[in-house]
Structure 1
Amino acid sequence: MEFERLNYELEDRVAVITINHPPVNTLGMKTLQELETALEAMCVDSRVKAVVLTGQGKAFIAGADIKEIAAISSQEEGERLARTGQQLFDQIEKMKKPVIAAVNGVCLGGGMELAMACHIRIAGDQAKFGQPEINLGIIPGFGGTQRLTRLTNRSIAIEWILTGNLYSAEEAYRVGVVNHVVPHESVLVEAKKLAHHIATKGGIAIAKSIEAIDQGLAGTLEEGLKNEAKLFGEVCTTDDKQEGTQAFLEKRVPFFEDK
């Protein structure tokens, strides 16, 4: 696939998407459209079992395109832009193939909202996080007010959003925004390593695990447990289940064919 603002590579069942829009990889409409195209292709590509998303250069994503926001002149235009970003990030969050954000630098505004929509976040120790929209007289519009609250808690989300401050990777880890903090120079290596490790698992079990977690969070514990049992029953009928259990009994590494 050829893109103007993205680089795309497939590395042994792991797709690596790099936002490449110098100087700081802002998320304008063109970038959002290309990212949507890449993700839709990966959803149906049986060769892809995990995705790593990162940024080119010193920035992960510095935020949305401020020029595009400045040009908005009506409530309808603003709402349309917000819904465009929200729908794309919802698509990422609901993917049944795990998306790992390799946060290699500044991760602000729309960039942080994108990272929060990913299933797992690995940050370099020089990365900076924040939702600075309030400094522009606006609010996060691509899901920041919702996902930050769910990843941390209401009080922390209010402080981060109302101050517009920047926070270190260590602080983001402390409040639950990122899963791991690693040396700056190894963030992409570690993200790929995790993605490749996950890609050795059965694709059906990966997808059903994500589905069980997401549906459980959307409902009650009772509903979640009922759905978990249903999905467990479904995976018990797969070839992968047969291979996985047989490999365990035979003390060998399983080879999953995702069926």
Structure 2
Amino acid sequence: MNDTTHLSQIVEDSTAVLTLNNPPVNALSCAVLNELAHRIQQIAADPDIRTVVIHSALPKFFSAGANIQELAALRNSREGQVYAERGQAVLHQIEHLPKPAIAAIEGVCLGGGLELALACPLRIATTASRLGLPEVNLGLLPGFGGTVRLARLLGTTQAMNMILLAKEIDGAEAARLGIVHQVVKPGTALETALELARQIQSKSPASVAAILCTLLPRDDTLEKHAFEKEARLFGARFDTEDAKEGIRAFLEKRVPQFQGR
């Protein structure tokens, strides 16, 4: 096993298993994103790896999202936009792999954690999983592609319901809506994902790559503009008092008092 501070990788039967381990909640810090980008780049170049599974070493958290301390340190719209663009770039790497990535979701999967899962073409959750994009509660919006990918999956109406109201749903509801492909009992998401990976590996790798290229958007100009707009609007929030108040309130464990400024 090749270990790093917050991410480890093993290769099992041609499947690269990436394990997030950033206690207490698997926050997607810049360090975690950088290591994830490095791993995905290596996986893309390795012909012996045919599938990828991303899961968590923490039984109660797939990932609770961005590192709030890092968000609090962003000083203006430009820094916020660069932050969002970096997260988007890493998740684009995952989505655009010619080998399918499978998210095995146990426990909490919120904010950037759900955005990471949405970048995986296949997703497994459990009945105990909690999924949502609660960024509006911080005076923000999703910045790692969540608005684009969730709307792509659900359509504008259902995506609006989840994002605008910061609605959290369980794994069964996520499966009903089509956010995840399968819901299983707690403690079995990784096992299910590995079995799914084995089934995919029985198919032609070239056919699998072609199917991913056909089904997943690659060069859609409108969608590219949508990602750019999301990053720009995410960044713009860091010029507002509401975003500062929302982040402070989260860190101070209190209800934010938004003033519309």
Same fold (TM over 0.5): yes
- Alignment correspondent of 2:104: 102
Q: Match of 2:215, as an amino acid?
A: I
2:196 to 194, 197, 208: 194
Alpha-carbon shift at residue 91 of structure 1 (Å): 1.1
Matches of 1:130 and 1:217, distance apart in 2: 27
**Runs ≥4 residues deviating over 2 A:** 214-219
2:167 to 165, 168, 182: 165
- Alignment correspondent of 2:21: 20
Aligned 8 A contact 2:110 2:130 in 1? yes
- Alignment correspondent of 1:137: 139
Q: Match of 2:162, as an amino acid?
A: W
Q: Give the RMSD, CA atoms, in angstroms.
A: 1.4
Relative to the length of structure 2, the TM-score reads: 0.81
Q: Match of 1:2, as an amino acid?
A: D
Alpha-carbon shift at residue 214 of structure 1 (Å): 2.6
Matches of 2:103 and 2:67, distance apart in 1: 20
Unpaired stretches in structure 2, ≥5 consecutive residues: 222-261
| SS of residue paired to 2:142 | coil
Aligned 8 A contact 2:111 2:132 in 1? yes
- Alignment correspondent of 2:241: none
Matches of 2:212 and 2:158, distance apart in 1: 26
Matches of 1:102 and 1:90, distance apart in 2: 18
Q: Match of 1:186, as an amino acid?
A: T
Is 1:89 aligned with 2:91? yes
- Alignment correspondent of 2:238: none
- Alignment correspondent of 1:40: 41
Matches of 1:82 and 1:69, distance apart in 2: 10
Structure number with greater Rg is: 1
* Bigger relative contact order (CA 8 A; separation at least 6): 2
**Residues matched between the structures, number:** 219
Matches of 1:205 and 1:9, distance apart in 2: 25
For 1:233-252, list aligned pairs within 5 A: none
Percent sequence identity over matched residues?
40
Q: Match of 1:160, as an amino acid?
A: M
